[in-house]
Amino acid sequence: MSDIDYHLRRQVNEVQSLVVQLNGTVSQVGLDVNRVGQETEQARAELSALRADFLAFVRQAELAANLQRAETKIGALQDRIEHEFGHYKAVRLTAVGMLQAFDIGIISEETVRTVGEQLMMQTPRYWLAPALVGLAAWAGDDPALCDRAILEAFRRSPSKTSLLMALILRRQRRADASVRWLRHYLAAQDPVALGRDFAVILESIAHGAFGPAGVELMRDSLDRWTERLLTEEAVQNAQVNRWRAEIDMFIAAPDAVAFPNLRALSPQWSMMESALRHACAHTPLVQKYQAMMAEETPPVDRLEDAIDDILDRLVREYDNEELPLRKELAYNQAVVEQGGDLDASRQVLAKQNAYETTLDYLTIQSESALNPTAIGVSRTTQRLAVAACHEWFLRAHGAFTRDYRMSLPQKVDVVFGSSHNVGASTFQLPQWVGCLAEPMGRLEHDLAAHWYRHGQPFIDSFAFPLRRKLVWPIVTVVGVLMLLALCGQNAFVAILGALAAGGVWAAVLYSQHQTALKRQAEARSYIEQSKEESLRQLRAAGAELTDWSSRYAYADAQEAGVREMIGNLATAGKAASPYERRTITTR
């Protein structure tokens, strides 16, 4: 019996050792799996960071190469423009100076004639060169030469020559002759394809440079053009879109730290953020245009000085032959300004119409209002152009407001449901959706019940199945008793063997039961903490929604002020310009 008892004890000890070893192996495997998972995530994060660094390096190298090429091209283009069109610049610089020399009377007519003829030979294709010869012949009382020179200038550029003569005659107090040239200029224009020099007309209207008769003639022509062009819906929509782009520039930048709980939990947050950013555009928009319209530009003492400024803009305008080079130069300069970003440079250049050969009248009006420096008009002209475009401005603003209001979500939800790591196990909380329009108390109760409903089964999954586990120990004890009885052993030995086998199993089961209780406690604690954190986020999201609603309501209320400001533009454009009905004074 002692041998049998020893043998049984040894077998039970071996089984217990194997069970303990198996538990240790399983635990080690769990730890290894967690470690491998962590190392995999770390490797993935490091690989992503390395990829991001590599792409950033490639992008930086690309920008640097683009910047270097642009700087090289700028120098080459400037040299080419100076070589091919530098003599045009000399003619431009001479034109207004010649007019001022006539006023002062300190330069001889022979000198003026010589300079004009010399520039004519240096620039045989430029329209302004024969115009200067004609002015010199006019000053020298040579009508035959003057007529031939002006006709040649008119042949090269009818529009610019007509406008130049209209301004010069007005400057010389020849009002009737000035209006005749102006009428000739306007009659030859196509409102769908106006030259870039037409901006000078807007400048002249703003300053009343042609006197009452000239202003009336221009306004009649411009009214007819406007009525003709506005019959096409596509043309109107193009101008409205220009003003819409202007309004879009005032959209507030995204705030990455505002409303963090709504940002993380609400599927409607992107629409809410966009609506708030758009609504915040009203205040800076109205501030810009109210300040612009409130500006007062005091007129200069003499109309001649104002006309000289307009003439200077006319004669300094680039010739169409120069435009391709000027446009390429502007693009490369934009590349330098944008740090080598080609896409951003193209967008900057696309917003400018200054390098187009022809533009329709409405586009010139919009460009004068939105981009006066590109088209070459003064602040006074810009204000009048803004007033003239008030209908497009109003339509664009109405569409802007309508679009962001329509994008507002009908309801604001919060969504909870994600994976949670509890030791070596993962708990997946099913998705819970709550509408923040409902009372907060009800939402908290529903969310807490959701956590309990799905968290309790997860906690119970760690429970030790004691009844099921006791089956094998009982079977073992009974088997030992039956085996010993069949062997003819006495009851004491049988009971002793059964107790030995049962004791070993009991120790193993007790150890497993305690481990299960510990894991259950950890899971219960984690689920409870996660539930409390979810409830806190829910309450924070509700508070943020109240704050967001207040901000949005205040920003959206400023829309009425913008509408009122745009409405006032209609009357602002009808005010008399500072030079209307003034007479030209002599020195």
Checking phi first, is residue 441 left (phi over 0); if not, alpha (psi -120 to 50) or beta?
alpha
Tell me how far CA of residue 136 lies from CA of 96, 147, 173, 251, in angstroms: 12, 11, 18, 55
Predicted local confidence at residue 372, as pLDDT: 82
Residue at 533: amino acid letter? E
Number of Cβ within 10 Å of residue 147's Cβ equals 13
Predicted local confidence at residue 582, as pLDDT: 36
- Quote the DSSP letter at residue 411: S
3-state secondary structure 463-511: CCCHHHHHHHHHHHHHHHHHHHHHCCCCHHHHHHHHHHHHHHHHHHHHH
Burial class (CB in 10 A: 0-12, 13-18, 19+), 239: buried
307-350 per-position pLDDT tens digit: 666 666 666 666 667 777 777 888 888 888 888 888 888 777 76
- Quote the DSSP letter at residue 378: -
Report how far residue 294's alpha carbon sits from residue 18's, in angstroms, rounded to the nearest whole number. 93
Report how far residue 162's alpha carbon sits from residue 151's, in angstroms, rounded to the nearest whole number. 10
- Is the pLDDT at 586 greater than 50? The verdict is no
Phi, psi of 421 (to 5 degrees): -90, 120
Predicted local confidence at residue 101, as pLDDT: 72
Is 123 within 8 Å of 129 (Cβ atoms)? yes
Distance of CA 174 to the CA centre of its chain: 52
3-state secondary structure 39-91: HHHHHHHHHHHHHHHHHHHHHHHHHHHHHHHHHHHHHHHHHHHHHHHHHHHHH
Which one is predicted more confidently, 345 or 543? 543
Predicted local confidence at residue 346, as pLDDT: 78
194-219 per-position pLDDT tens digit: 876 777 777 777 777 777 788 788 88
Report how far residue 238's alpha carbon sits from residue 19's, in angstroms, rounded to the nearest whole number. 82
Tell me how far CA of residue 322 lies from CA of 93, 126, 314, 332, in angstroms: 17, 11, 15, 16
Report how far residue 515's alpha carbon sits from residue 549's, in angstroms, rounded to the nearest whole number. 51
Least reliable range by pLDDT among 29-33, 160-164, 479-483: 479-483
Report how far residue 248's alpha carbon sits from residue 456's, in angstroms, rounded to the nearest whole number. 52
Least reliable range by pLDDT among 108-117, 353-362, 447-456: 353-362
- Is the pLDDT at 410 greater than 80? The verdict is yes
> In the beta sheet, which residues pair with residue 434?
414
3-state secondary structure 240-303: HHHHHHHHHCCCCCCCCCCCHHHHHHCCCHHHHHHHHHHHCCHHHHHHHHHHHHHCCCCCCCCH
Report how far residue 464's alpha carbon sits from residue 510's, in angstroms, rounded to the nearest whole number. 10
Is 135 within 8 Å of 99 (Cβ atoms)? yes
- Is the pLDDT at 585 greater than 50? The verdict is no
Classify each residue of 459-487 as buried b or exposed e, where b means 16 or more C-beta atoms within 10 Å of its C-beta: beebebeeeeeeeebeebbeebbeebeee
- Is the pLDDT at 19 greater than 70? The verdict is no
Task: Tell which residue, 193, 200, 190, 141, has the closest CA to residue 165.
Answer: 200
pLDDT > 70: what percent of the chain?
Answer: 76
- Is the pLDDT at 299 greater than 90? The verdict is no
Report how far residue 551's alpha carbon sits from residue 542's, in angstroms, rounded to the nearest whole number. 15
Is 353 within 8 Å of 374 (Cβ atoms)? yes
554-566 per-position pLDDT tens digit: 999 999 999 999 9
223-253 per-position pLDDT tens digit: 888 888 877 788 888 889 999 999 999 999 8
Predicted local confidence at residue 4, as pLDDT: 56
Global pTM?
A: 0.65
Mean pLDDT of 467-487: 64
Report how far residue 236's alpha carbon sits from residue 244's, in angstroms, rounded to the nearest whole number. 12
Mean pLDDT of 77-103: 74
Q: What is the dihedral of CA 487, 490, 492, 493, to 10 degrees?
A: -30
Report how far residue 574's alpha carbon sits from residue 312's, in angstroms, rounded to the nearest whole number. 27
Sign of the torsion formed by the C-alpha atoms of 483, 485, 490 and 495: positive
Number of Cβ within 10 Å of residue 67's Cβ equals 17
Report how far residue 533's alpha carbon sits from residue 540's, in angstroms, rounded to the nearest whole number. 10
